[in-house]
Amino acid sequence: MIRAAGFRVSKPRVFEANTLYDTARGELRRKGCLLRVRETGRHGVLTYKGTPLGGKYKDREELEVCVDNPQRLREIISRLGYVPGFRYEKYRTEYRRPHESGAAMLDETPVGVYLELEGAPRWIDRAARSLGFSQSDYSTASYYDLYVDYCRKHRLKVSNMTYPTNSPRITVTA
């Protein structure tokens, strides 16, 4: 479906371990903000996301910095008073179409496979249509919200969205 719509792999499939940080009182979450450490092997990305503006597209400030030592980054965040909260894992493959600025990310998670379209609203609408989706299919839910919904539907305890350590990793071919 993705390749048939003209998308090509721009970043190969990689395993990501993501940890959200907040104060003990949950001040960032209450404001709709997010502080995340994403680890891919020995590399990491620290991301701050501001309060979403709302609407059918998730639009918010996003600041990122890459680090070569995620362990040290976690120590610094801890010293600043932030504590680890929700952890989620996924495999991500990034796709792009030639001469276009948007990107399609295919995320394989322990609770399902999701497609994230990132770009200008007009690009998102065009890309979604070319992939067979309509605006009624759009969601701006976070992975935490998707996971909580999944747990509720399957009567599971909400914890972290991680793969069992003894299970085989899922593979999706696109």
Q: Is residue 66 part of a domain?
A: yes
Question: 109-132 pLDDT, tens per residue?
Answer: 999 999 999 999 999 999 999 999
Q: Across residues 143-161, what is the average pLDDT? A: 95
Q: Is residue 3 part of a domain?
A: no
Domain containing 73: what range? 8-153
Q: How far apart are the C-alpha atoms of 118 and 105, rounded to whole Å?
A: 8
Q: How far apart are the C-alpha atoms of 16 and 89, rounded to whole Å?
A: 6
Q: What is the CATH number of the domain that holds 148?
A: 2.40.320.10
Given pLDDT bands bounded at 50, 70 and 90, which one contains residue 53? confident
Q: What is the number of domains present in the chain?
A: 1
